[in-house]
Amino acid sequence: MANYFSDHPEIAFHLNHPLMKRIVELKERNYEDAKTYDYAPVDLGDAIENYKQILDITGDVAANIIAPNSESVDLEGPHLENGRMIYASKTVENIEAMRKAGLFGVSMPRRYGGLNLPNAIFSMLSEIISAADAGFQNIWSLQSCIDTLYEAGNEDQRQRYIPRICAGETMSMDLTEPDAGSDLQRVMLKATFDEKENCWRLNGVKRFITNGDSDIHLVLARSEEGTKDGRGLSMFIYDKRNGGVDVRHIEHKLGIHGSPTCELTYKNAKAELCGSTRLGLIKYVMSLMNGARLGIAAQSVGLSQEAYNEGLAYARERQQFGDKIINFPAVYDMLSRMKAKLDAGRSMLYQTACYVDIYKCLEDIARERALTPEEKQELKKYQRLADAFTPLAKGMNSEYATSASTAAAASSWSTSASASTATPASSASTRVPPSCRSSPPSVISSTAPCSRTSRT
């Protein structure tokens, strides 16, 4: 059975990254969670085994549900009905499969219902899902907005919103407006404090919002009357359950049709402040954008991998002048370059994700206790590296993905995806210890048992 993780050992190779030991050490805080959660790791080896299992389950769902659904999703696309965005029917099936597998809110601490996954592993999941359907990866990976809510929100907000994302609700980040694109300082959507109801009210328009009819939105809005620049902007949480936001248009795009890009109207929508006023653009949007950049880098690596697979399969099968075209030096050279760029881009992605992990983990520890001088130095070093590498990882990989996809599309429309004939993936879940599953999927039973299995 196809599996987008185990079929590409290049991904697992990055689990051996030298920084991984430090990341797990920081992320797991001496493996404290193992006392409370039977699926939490007890040591480094156990943590890596757990990551492999989660990646394996994702590879199974990606290859056997998301990939076979992708053509139908692309043809049907989302549509608008009475101010609501309705997903393509197979997108609903994809979301349900990811929910059942426990693949929402995966980066969040276990106390909120998450899997406490580092960024590096989240990026691997993103790559795998993108290889199956890049449009669906957009929807799924927007769950990373929860990282910003976790960092900026108060404990009450964390407790109310994070478990909902872990249970499978979706997110969006509402920044762009008709007159504020690259220049977000011009955002005009107005936030006013409603003294009577003791809440904020949002009024205005947002444009080009991916998954814009999501359950929980992070919204950039102007809270400071009379201001015109970024210093008057704050971040708000809008909960769809409260109403007040309608979708008035869905963009007709050239690709990733399954991913709804929405125009939204906010009419007195009830919202709550996330973090401090005036720091919306300066601090929180930067955090959102850096998360999104890594997401696009991972999406691009997944796309490049699929484009390379298609191109290679076609070149091995197609004959001209009595020979397979892969044997012509010009074609071989093209494929070698694609593979070299793919591997380089993937290394860049996981190297960057590791830098991000170290500084984010240290920032999180600093919320609990004072850091030692050495830890402070370490945080500074990796934050600088992450800041420099994040835009590079995004820029480099998205350029590679565009050229790889164009080359592969031009030569291989006739090859069919191998996953399309595979049997549907089973009901594997990342939160249920393998020994407790009633009917273990073949993909799980074929892997070596992890150490946590013996403890359950």
Ligand X SMILES: Cc1cc2nc3c(=O)[nH]c(=O)nc-3n(C[C@H](O)[C@H](O)[C@H](O)COP(=O)(O)OP(=O)(O)OC[C@H]3O[C@@H](n4cnc5c(N)ncnc54)[C@H](O)[C@@H]3O)c2cc1C
If one asks whether residue 31 binds ligand X (CB under 6 A), the answer comes out as no
Which residue's CB is nearer to ligand X, number 123 or number 141? 141
Which residue's CB is nearer to ligand X, number 253 or number 376? 253
If one asks whether residue 209 binds ligand X (CB under 6 A), the answer comes out as yes
Residue 455: both structure tokens together: 């403890």
If one asks whether residue 187 binds ligand X (CB under 6 A), the answer comes out as no
CB of 149 to ligand X, least distance (A): 15
Q: How many residues bind ligand X (CB under 6 A)?
A: 12
Residue nearest to ligand X (CB): 181
If one asks whether residue 294 binds ligand X (CB under 6 A), the answer comes out as no
Which residue's CB is nearer to ligand X, number 173 or number 274? 173
Stretch that binds ligand X, among 3-11, 208-216, 322-330, 375-383 (CB under 6 A): 208-216
If one asks whether residue 290 binds ligand X (CB under 6 A), the answer comes out as no
The sign of the dihedral angle between the CA atoms of 120, 126, 129, 133 is negative
CB of 227 to ligand X, least distance (A): 20
If one asks whether residue 255 binds ligand X (CB under 6 A), the answer comes out as no
Euclidean distance between CA atoms 86 and 262, whole angstroms: 11
3-state helix, strand, coil split of the chain in percent (to 5) is 55, 15, 30
CB of 299 to ligand X, least distance (A): 11
Give Cβ neighbours of residue 215 (< 8 Å, ≥ 6 apart).
Answer: 164, 169, 170, 171, 239, 240, 241
Euclidean distance between CA atoms 92 and 115, whole angstroms: 23
3-state secondary structure of 170: coil
Stretch that binds ligand X, among 92-100, 204-212, 234-242, 377-385 (CB under 6 A): 204-212
If one asks whether residue 182 binds ligand X (CB under 6 A), the answer comes out as yes
Residue 304: both structure tokens together: 């490049």
Residue 410: both structure tokens together: 């031009």
Burial class (CB in 10 A: 0-12, 13-18, 19+), 322: exposed
Chain position carrying tokens 């960092």: 151
Q: Pick from 58, 141, 176, 287 the residue near ligand X by CB under 6 A.
A: 176
Euclidean distance between CA atoms 407 and 285, whole angstroms: 35
Q: Pick from 73, 162, 173, 294 the residue near ligand X by CB under 6 A.
A: 173
Q: Are 223 and 247 in contact (CB under 8 A)?
A: no
If one asks whether residue 208 binds ligand X (CB under 6 A), the answer comes out as yes
Which residue's CB is nearer to ligand X, number 205 or number 422? 205
For residues 235 to 254, the per-residue mask of contacts with ligand X, x marking binding by CB under 6 A and - elsewhere, is ------------------x-
CB of 204 to ligand X, least distance (A): 13
If one asks whether residue 261 binds ligand X (CB under 6 A), the answer comes out as yes
Q: Are 238 and 297 in contact (CB under 8 A)?
A: no
Q: Are 219 and 276 in contact (CB under 8 A)?
A: no
Chain position carrying tokens 């994700």: 353
Positions that interact with ligand X (CB under 6 A) = 172-176, 181-182, 208-210, 253, 261
